[in-house]
Structure 1
Amino acid sequence: MKIPEKILYAHEHTTIDLSGPKNNIDCRLDDFDATVAEYCHLVERGVVSIIDQTNRGMGRNVTYTEKVAAAAGVKITHATGYYKEPFLPPECYTLTEQQLSDIMVRELTVGIEDTGIRAELIGEIGTSKEITEPEAKIFRAASRAHAETGAPICTHTTLGTRGMEQLEIFKSFGVDLSRVVLSHIDLSADLDYMKRLLDQGVNIAFDTIGKCNYQPDGSRAIWLSQLCREGYENQIVMSMDITRRSNFADRGGVGYSYLLDTFAPMACEAGVPEQTFEKLLYRNALRIYKGQSEASV
């Protein structure tokens, strides 16, 4: 199949460090040369922009990420917000909901730390299998920041769960669900659940492509094909969400381009029309994260 000329990866982490709570150094991405090499290969395949979902407490390093972007020749968009327990920094427990919202607003409107580089989205804010009060507080704070700035929101769902509960929080604050992405919904393995979410007007991400220890890619391809046949192709974005060093191609992993080189043809064979991939791999994420302005990428 022919992939689109322009591609936007909707959920990646140029840097991330979850190695402490996980007690696994593999969960820290900080290899500059290897990351640049992977991103350069993506640029060769047509990737023009990457949405970096690393936020406060996850090992975000904006200066480093900007250097990677310059070396690879790709636009990288930065995020603000907080992840989920047990990866939350102390401020999530000591500050109020409004104070956390104020931090997000500042990073969206003034800049991240002292870099002068502004975040362009709130993400990835997450929930555990059972939503904890600190996580709910972050969702409420993010909703307030969205109301003040209009910034898009990306969430983390643990194994695809609690999507409806996340939406209930957003709805209570009047969040524009067309600017919200629920991530990792492909891990739910529940097509009816995916449809119920999409019927709320929210977007979902098939962004754990290649993580076959969770779900087989053949199943992902079938679910994606069915959703597209039923008219949901404008509400789905795609990515790899690589978070481990061992995922890099030069270390025996699938590598970032697996989405384009292996999964997209698999999904096409499963029934996703070739012309639909421009939406799945570019237009939908452009609308959500870039406000439809093609010039911004």
Structure 2
Amino acid sequence: MLLDGITYMHEHTTIDLSRLKNIDDTNLNCFDETVSEYKKLYNKGVRNIVDVTNMDMRRNPEYVQKVAELSGINVVQATGFYQDKFLPEFVTDATIDELTEFMVREIESGIAETAIKAQIIGEIGTSKDVMTERERKVFAASVIAQKQTGVPITTHTTLGTYGHEQVAFFKEHNANLEKIVIGHVDLTGDVDYILQMLDQGVYVEFDTVGKENYQPDLLRVQMLKEIEKRGYDDKVFLSMDITRKSNLEYQGGIGYSYLLDKFVPLALENSVSEQFIQKMLRYNPQTFMSQE
């Protein structure tokens, strides 16, 4: 399912959250600039990007497919529903079975009216410090869809909160923890919190690399060092979760290449091993995304 090479496990090729954020910056619709940056990533060895844009982030599967074709990067697309304030009314009225059917159809037949099949469920989200009733429905449906299709699940934790409760929910519903990654854990800034999740058997994602307004990258590196020391180097992914025009290079932002150009050297300088870096970028995503 993934090509050999580097994988960014949590990105958005295009996403539009502007109707709630009320700023155009959160409408990431810069087609040419995105293609240009993805081509740059290809030249650095990136072969896969897992795009976790779903309902109702104003997804556009054909746009994403065109970017993939022009850049040469294999872009994996998703099905599912985001956190509560972004959920479409459909989720309010639908039963868990109907939500499950929706996701299974997008995995087996194609997203929306296209023939582009979803290969991951997510990013399904919880709100800050809580799982709302609608989010609970989405999580329940996602577990059933995962059991029916074998497709992995990727989650959103708001500012890193409620990760333990997500894991508890998955365990309670007998989900396959080897096919679940808890997102945005680096935003906790708390390595013990992350280690407790890893103890349960899930994957975790340091997927807001470069967002130093939330956490300094040096803290991310220090947490990774501790995770490696504890022997959990098979269970971590890296990504950037770029969602804004201002994140891109053409607007003076850090750009998608920052992860490889700046963060990886910082990690290596601070005693994260080359082997761990390669696992996070290449081998762990391959294992996670492979169909068994």
> Is the shorter-chain TM-score for this pair beyond 0.5, marking a shared fold?
yes
- Structure-2 separation of matches of 1:283 and 1:17: 31
Equivalent position of 1:105 in the other structure: 104
Query: Is 1:62 aligned to 2:55, yes or no?
Result: no
Give the structure 2 partner of residue 123 of structure 1.
122
1:165-184 Cα shifts (integer Å, max 9, x gaps): 11122112211111101110
Amino acid at match of 2:95: T
Distance 1:31 1:184 in 2: 24
Query: Structure 1 residue runs of 4+, over 3 Å off?
Result: none
1:281 paired with 2:281, answer yes
**SS of the residue 2:37 aligns to:** helix
Residue 156 of structure 2 aligns to a residue whose secondary structure is: strand
TM-score (norm 1): 0.95
- Which secondary structure does the structure 2 equivalent of 1:233 belong to? coil
Identity of aligned residues (%): 48
RMSD: 1.1
How far apart, in 1, do the equivalents of 2:253 and 2:84 lie?
27
Summarize the alignment of residues 4-23 of structure 1 with structure 2, pairs less than 5 Å apart: 6-23=5-22
| SS of equivalent residue, structure 1 residue 243 | coil
Question: Aligned residue for 1:197?
Answer: 197
Distance across 2 between alignment mates of 1:77 and 1:238: 16
Aligned residue pair count: 288
Runs of 5+ consecutive residues of structure 1 not aligned to the other structure: 293-297
Q: Secondary structure at the match of 1:204?
A: strand
What secondary structure is seen at the aligned counterpart in 2 of 1:122? strand
Deviations 1:219-272 (A, max 9, x none): 111111111121011000010100000000111111001000000111111111
Residue 291 of structure 1: CA displacement? 3.6
Q: Name the SS of the counterpart of 1:26 in structure 2.
A: helix
Aligned-partner residue type, residue 275 of structure 1: Q
Deviation readout 1:38-59 (Å, 9 max, x if unpaired): 1011001000010000012111
CA offset digits 1:122-158 (Å, max 9, x no partner): 0100001121111111101101111111110000001
CA distance in 2, matches of 1:34, 1:284: 29
How far the C-alpha of 1:287 sits from its partner, in A, is 1.1
Match for residue 175 of structure 2?
175
**Matching residue's letter, 1:28:** N
Structure 2: which 5+ residue stretches go unaligned? none
Give the TM-score taking structure 2 as reference length. 0.97
Corresponding residue number in structure 1 for 2:33: 34
* Equivalent residue number for residue 295 of structure 1: none
Structure 1 counterpart of 2:214: 214
